[in-house]
Chains A and B, each alone.
Chain A
Amino acid sequence: MIKFLLKGLIRDKSRSRMPVIVVSIGVMLTVLMHAYISGFMGDTIEVNARFFTGHLKVMTQAYATDMDQIPNDLALVEVDTLREKLSDMFPDLDWSPRIHFGGLIDAPDENGETRSQGPAIGLGVDLLSTGSSELNRLNLQKALVRGKLPQASHEAILSDNFSLKLDVNPGDIVTLIGSTMDGSMTFYNFIVSGTVSLGHEALDRGMIIADIGDVRIALNMENAAGEIVGFFKGGFYDDDIALEDAEMFSSSFGDRPGDFTPVMKSLSQQGEMGTYVKMVDVWSAYISLIFIFAMSLVLWNAGLLGGLRRYGEVGIRLAMGEEKGHVYRTMIYESVMIGIAGSVLGTAFGLFFAWLIQKYGIDISGMMQGSSVMMPSVIKAKISRVDFYLGFIPGVISTVIGTMLSGIGIYKRQTARLFKELEA
Chain B
Amino acid sequence: MRKTIILVSTILLFSNFANQDAEEILNRIEKNMSSDNRIFESSMTIHGVRSSRTITSRTYAVGDKKSFTEYLSPVREQGTKMLKLENQLWIYSPGTDRTIQISGHMLRQSVMGSDLSYEDMMDDRKVSEIYSATVIGDEVIEGRNTWILELIAKVPDVAYYKRKMWVDTERYVPLREELYAKSGQLLKRTTLSDVKQIDGRWFPTKIVYKDVLKQGDGTEFNMTSVKFNQKLPEYIFTKAALKQ
Q: Are B53's CB and A175's CB within 8 A?
A: no
Q: Are B109's CB and A182's CB within 8 A?
A: no
What residue of chain B has the Cβ atom nearest to residue A179's Cβ? B109
Q: Are A260's CB and B76's CB within 8 A?
A: no
Within 8 Å of chain B (Cβ to Cβ): is A238?
Answer: no
Q: Are B96's CB and A175's CB within 8 A?
A: yes
Q: Which one of A183-191, A206-214, A228-236, A364-372 contacts B?
A: A183-191
Contact A112:B91 (CB < 8 A) given known A73-B49, A185-B109: no
Within 8 Å of chain B (Cβ to Cβ): is A126?
Answer: no
Q: Are B95's CB and A187's CB within 8 A?
A: yes
How far is A74 from B216 in the complex, measured between Cα atoms in Å?
Answer: 12
Q: Are B113's CB and A187's CB within 8 A?
A: no
Per-residue 0/1 for B27-42: is the Cβ within 8 Å of any A Cβ (1 yes, 0 no)? 0000000000000000
Q: Are A114's CB and B101's CB within 8 A?
A: yes
What residue of chain B has the Cβ atom nearest to residue A108's Cβ? B98
Q: Are B113's CB and A184's CB within 8 A?
A: yes
Within 8 Å of chain B (Cβ to Cβ): is A160?
Answer: no
Q: Are A184's CB and B110's CB within 8 A?
A: yes
Residues of B in contact, count (CB < 8 Å): 25
- The residue from B46, B91, B96 contacting A188, defined by CB atoms under 8 A apart: B96
Within 8 Å of chain B (Cβ to Cβ): is A227?
Answer: no
Within 8 Å of chain B (Cβ to Cβ): is A46?
Answer: no
Per-residue 0/1 for B108-124: is the Cβ within 8 Å of any A Cβ (1 yes, 0 no)? 01111110000000000
Please provide the chain B residues from 77 to 115 with a CB less than 8 Å away from any CB of chain A in the complex. 77, 91, 93, 95-102, 106, 109-114
Within 8 Å of chain B (Cβ to Cβ): is A106?
Answer: yes
How far is A177 from B109 in the complex, measured between Cα atoms in Å?
Answer: 11
Query: What are the residues of chain B within 8 A of A308 when measuring CB–CB?
Result: none
How far is A177 from B53 in the complex, measured between Cα atoms in Å?
Answer: 21
Q: Which of A112, A180, A259 is the most central at the interface, judged by chain B CB atoms within 10 Å of its CB?
A: A112
- Separation in Å of the A23 CB from the closest CB of chain B? 62
Within 8 Å of chain B (Cβ to Cβ): is A220?
Answer: yes
How far is A77 from B51 in the complex, measured between Cα atoms in Å?
Answer: 13
Q: List 27 A-B contacts (CB under 8 A).
A: A73-B215, A74-B49, A106-B98, A106-B100, A108-B98, A112-B97, A112-B98, A112-B99, A175-B96, A175-B100, A179-B110, A182-B48, A182-B53, A182-B113, A183-B110, A183-B114, A184-B112, A184-B113, A185-B106, A185-B111, A185-B112, A187-B91, A187-B93, A187-B95, A187-B96, A187-B100, A259-B49
> Which A residues are within 8 Å of any B CB, using their own CB?
73-74, 77, 104, 106, 108, 112-114, 175, 177, 179-180, 182-189, 220, 259-260
In order of increasing CB-CB distance, the 9 nearest A-B pairs are A183-B113, A187-B93, A182-B113, A184-B113, A187-B96, A184-B112, A189-B96, A183-B110, A175-B98
